[in-house]
Structure 1
Amino acid sequence: MNLLNEEITHKVFGEGNIVEHEDSVLTVDFNTDIKKFVYPDAFENFLTLNDPLTAKTFEDLFLKKQQEQEAIEKKRAEEKERLLLEQQRRDMLKDHKIHESSQIAFWLDEDRQQEIFTDWKISTGTVRSGANKGQPNKVARLRPNSAGLLTVRNANQDEKERKILGLFMVHEVFSGDLGTDGLVPTHEEFKIELTEQEADQMLFWNYYMNASYPERTTWNSGKFRYYDNIWTAQIIQDIIALKTDEKEIALAKKFLEYFCTMNALDITNIPEANGPLRLKSA
């Protein structure tokens, strides 16, 4: 807004006229003296436009610029926080070498299949025998690069029918070997829930494979088991292909990008899944 020739009032110098306006500098003629002021800062404390209409227009413009500046500063602060968290993640991954099987699959109890997606509280269960009986199971391999897979097989189903209900990234500052409460904290953003129809198409044994017995579909016992990092990338890739809601697809793609970055995987070169169910159908 060019204020050339506008009349103003200064708290100390009195009435004046703007004789020059260049970018961030105003030159004001107070008849007996000429002063320069920083624009628009001087209007906050020293200068007042005499014309009410011009003053109102300037006030609206100034308020808009102020809001834009606040938005820029907020974005900078958010970016600074993001970079700080990224540095924390890099530091943690530097201190703890990425394990090739640092992902975890949970066997959900039937009574937890619905509420798990409300509270996102993931328990590691307790030790069943020995000196540590009753103590929370530790998940020492888990790091910020780890994903948790939520699977279920009901009592009347065969193990090969185990399906994936959802998955999540662990919290970005979580370290499994330091956890003592038996809970795996989840990432605030990267969580995916599958519909019943989607879960029916996401069978666990399409991905998980026992290297010693590649054709077996056997879980045996235990609340969780570790699995290879690349399998999570395969699972997310298939979820992207399965989803139809644009927002959910966008989240899954962002999830995959984050996961591959955290696990140093080439997102353009994810191999096809070859779990025992796919081996049998090949």
Structure 2
Amino acid sequence: MNLINEEVTHKVFGEGNIVEHEESSITIDFNKDIKKFVYPDAFEKFITLKDKRTAKSLKEIFLKRKEEEEVLEREREEEKEIQMLEQQRLEILKNHKIHESSQIAFWLDEEDQKDIFTDWQVSTGNVQSGKNKGQPNSVARLRPNSAGLLTWREPDQPETARKILGLYMINEMFTGTLGTDGMVPSHAEFKIELSEEEAEQMLFWKYYVNKNYPERTSWNSGKFRYFDNVWTAQILKDIIALKTDEAQIDQVKSFLEYFCKMNALDIDNIPEPQGTLG
């Protein structure tokens, strides 16, 4: 907005005309007394435009400017928070040796399935006997590099029919040794829910193998099992191949990239699955 020749009133100097208007300043002639002011700040403090239409337009510019400044300030605050969280995450990971089986596979019950894809957290269940009976099961291996695999089979189905319903990265501030309520929360971004058709093609035992008894496909009890890091990468890679929607493919690719970074895996050299059904 060019304000040259606009008439103004100053709280101290009285009436005048704008004779120069630059990006960050205006110059006003108060009856041969030339004064220079910061633009647009001066209009918010002690200078008023006489023309009401121009004054209204200028006010709208001020409001827009304030909104933009508020947005920038929020973005700066959010960036500070992100940097702080990243620093905290790095502190958690500092000197932490990544366990090769620091992922977790959950056996979801019917109650879990009601809320898992809205709450995105799973209980580890409770200790069933001994001095810690009733206390939440410990998941000491879990760190910010861990993912939670969500599995299910019908009660009348064989164990080989166990399906993968989805998975999520563990919250970046979570560590299993510090968790006290037995809940394993998710990362804000990296979460995947598979459709029924997709889950039918993602069988748990294609990836998982009992290293002591490689021919067995049994999971008779227990809410969870630890799961190899590379197996989770294999699952993510297969989900990418399964998807047809470009946005969903990009989502899973981002998940895989983050997962490989957190687990020091070479994304270009993920081996083929060699689970019991592989």
What TM-score do you get using the length of structure 2 for normalisation? 0.91
SS at match of 2:114: coil
**RMSD in angstroms over aligned alpha carbons?**
2.1
Counterpart of 1:102 in structure 2 is: 102
- TM superposition shift of 1:33: 2.3
Mean Cα deviation higher: 46-55 or 158-167: 46-55
Counterpart of 1:230 in structure 2 is: 230
* Aligned pairs, number: 278
Counterpart of 2:161 in structure 1 is: 161
Contact between 2:112 and 2:122, CA under 8 Å: does it hold in 1? no
- TM superposition shift of 1:95: 4.8
SS at match of 1:117: helix
Counterpart of 2:2 in structure 1 is: 2
Counterparts of 1:258-273 in structure 2 under 5 Å? 258-273=258-273
SS at match of 2:36: strand
| In 2: Cα distance, 1:17 partner to 1:166 partner | 69
- TM superposition shift of 1:56: 2.3
| In 1: Cα distance, 2:230 partner to 2:62 partner | 53
Letter paired with 1:173: M
| In 1: Cα distance, 2:266 partner to 2:40 partner | 50
- TM superposition shift of 1:202: 0.7
Counterparts of 1:176-191 in structure 2 under 5 Å? 176-191=176-191
Counterpart of 2:151 in structure 1 is: 151
Counterparts of 1:27-176 in structure 2 under 5 Å? 27-176=27-176
SS at match of 2:93: helix
Contact between 1:207 and 1:275, CA under 8 Å: does it hold in 2? yes
- TM superposition shift of 1:232: 1.6
- TM superposition shift of 1:111: 4.3
| In 1: Cα distance, 2:223 partner to 2:277 partner | 22
Letter paired with 2:197: Q
Contact between 1:110 and 1:152, CA under 8 Å: does it hold in 2? no
| In 2: Cα distance, 1:11 partner to 1:237 partner | 69
Letter paired with 1:167: L
- TM superposition shift of 1:68: 2.3
Contact between 2:106 and 2:149, CA under 8 Å: does it hold in 1? yes
- TM superposition shift of 1:91: 0.9
| In 2: Cα distance, 1:134 partner to 1:56 partner | 68
Letter paired with 1:197: E
Deviations 1:169-217 (A, max 9, x none): 2222111111122211222332221121111011111211233444432
What TM-score do you get using the length of structure 1 for normalisation? 0.89
Structure 2 runs not aligned, ≥5 long:
none
Relative to 1, partners in 2 of residues 1:111 and 1:52: Cα closer, same or farther, differing over 3 Å?
closer
- TM superposition shift of 1:23: 2.0
| In 2: Cα distance, 1:8 partner to 1:230 partner | 72
Mean Cα deviation higher: 173-182 or 70-79: 70-79
Letter paired with 2:66: Q
Mean Cα deviation higher: 179-188 or 264-273: 264-273
Letter paired with 1:22: E
Structure 1 runs not aligned, ≥5 long:
none
| In 2: Cα distance, 1:268 partner to 1:47 partner | 64
| In 2: Cα distance, 1:65 partner to 1:266 partner | 47
Contact between 1:234 and 1:271, CA under 8 Å: does it hold in 2? yes
| In 2: Cα distance, 1:265 partner to 1:63 partner | 50
| In 1: Cα distance, 2:73 partner to 2:176 partner | 36
Contact between 1:110 and 1:154, CA under 8 Å: does it hold in 2? no
| In 2: Cα distance, 1:121 partner to 1:53 partner | 56
Relative to 1, partners in 2 of residues 1:114 and 1:4: Cα closer, same or farther, differing over 3 Å?
same
Mean Cα deviation higher: 135-144 or 65-74: 65-74
Counterparts of 1:16-35 in structure 2 under 5 Å? 16-35=16-35
Letter paired with 2:211: A
- TM superposition shift of 1:162: 0.9
